[in-house]
């Protein structure tokens, strides 16, 4: 029987982050055999216009290319679509309107993980609801995370303009060109600056950042929520629901 669930991955932003998501999805799947894994089709096209530049008004919108990708994934039979890139969620609503297959939101998945860590907290736990947001200028400018976090009672810390210019942005683009040693050192410093200012948790809200911290085996990973991992867990909940409805074979 053909699968009634097929995940579409709108990737390429960047390519390594797409592979990272797929790797985490496979490792997180409680599979005993090949057939237990999530059926997936991937649109890994790195030529999608730069999201940060578009939000800043310094480059073309990626929306036409994203719409083309969504159409391609639907044509390939996707029944659920994810985008392993944070900043691109600035355009998620027009993509949802154009897609028969629903799109999961990476912020929803991340917030769910963060809230689970503080389920049943007392007053002392609430005092620790301070999160550092390690994110691109575009994601920060679009307020992808801040408003949702504040609505749930989180105090949000962001990198300063100087830290973004000197640490985050060059670190992010170093990862994209496979300069992992250089990029990971810069991104770890950007994350450490938020921890030093009181962040009890870090949301690694650019998919290059978890790769960087893992490359350095950074102790900051212990404070961190990885949106790619959160997105993988969210996909698996949908997949397991379909499997449960079908019954196992």
Catalytic residue among 206, 211, 232, 235: 206
pTM over 0.75: yes
pLDDT tens figures, 147-160: 999 999 999 999 99
User: Is 85 annotated in the active site?
Assistant: yes
Judgement on whether residues 26 and 133 belong to the same structural domain of the protein: no
pLDDT at 229: 97
Average pLDDT over residues 12-27: 96
* pLDDT at residue 125 tops 60: no
Domain assignment of residue 83, yes or no: yes
Q: Is 206 a catalytic residue?
A: yes
Pair 127, 219 in one domain: yes
73 shares its domain with 123 = no
CATH number (domain holding residue 173)? 3.40.50.1860
**Signed CA dihedral, 35, 38, 39, 43: sign only:** negative
Are 72 and 140 members of one domain? no
Active-site hit among 69, 85, 133, 157: 85
Average pLDDT, the chain: 93
Split at pLDDT 50, 70, 90, the class of 249 is very low
Instruction: Give the alpha-carbon dihedral of 84, 85, 88, 90, to 10 degrees.
Output: 90
* Residue 2 within a domain: no
Q: Which domain holds residue 112?
A: 107-227
pLDDT surpassing 60 at residue 53: yes
Q: CA of 140: how far to CAs of 134, 156, 205, in Å?
A: 9, 11, 9
Tell me: the pLDDT tens digits for 163-222?
999 999 999 999 999 999 999 999 999 999 999 999 999 999 999 999 999 999 999 999
What integer is the mean pLDDT of 27-46?
96
> Quick check: is 1 in a domain?
no
Q: What is the mean pLDDT of residues 98-121?
A: 91
The total number of structural domains in the chain stands at 2
CA torsion sign for 71, 73, 78, 79 is negative
| Mean local confidence (pLDDT), 134-143 | 95
Phi, psi of 24 (to 5 degrees): -70, -35
């Amino acid at each position: 029987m053909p699968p009634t669930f097929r995940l579409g991955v709108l990737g390429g932003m960047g390519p390594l982050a797409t592979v990272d998501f797929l790797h985490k999805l496979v490792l997180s799947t409680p599979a005993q055999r090949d057939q237990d894994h999530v059926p997936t089709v991937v649109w890994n096209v790195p030529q999608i216009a730069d999201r940060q530049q578009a939000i800043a008004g310094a480059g073309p919108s990626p929306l036409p290319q994203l719409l083309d990708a969504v159409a391609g994934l639907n044509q390939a039979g996707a029944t659920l679509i994810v985008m392993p890139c944070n900043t691109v969620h600035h355009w998620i609503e027009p993509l949802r309107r154009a897609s028969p297959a629903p799109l999961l939101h990476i912020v929803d998945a991340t917030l769910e993980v963060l809230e689970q860590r503080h389920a049943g907290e007392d007053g002392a736990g609430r005092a620790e609801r301070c999160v550092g947001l390690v994110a691109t200028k575009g994601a920060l400018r679009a307020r992808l995370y801040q408003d949702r976090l504040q609505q749930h009672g989180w105090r949000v810390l962001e990198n300063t303009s100087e830290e973004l210019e000197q640490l985050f942005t060059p670190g992010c683009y170093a990862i994209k060109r496979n300069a992992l040693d250089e990029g990971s050192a810069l991104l770890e410093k950007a994350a450490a600056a938020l921890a030093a200012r009181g962040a009890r948790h870090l949301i690694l809200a650019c998919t290059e950042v978890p790769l960087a911290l893992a490359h350095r085996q950074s102790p900051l990973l212990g404070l961190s929520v990885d949106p790619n991992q959160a997105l993988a867990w969210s996909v698996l909940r949908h997949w397991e629901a379909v499997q449960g409805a079908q019954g196992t074979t």
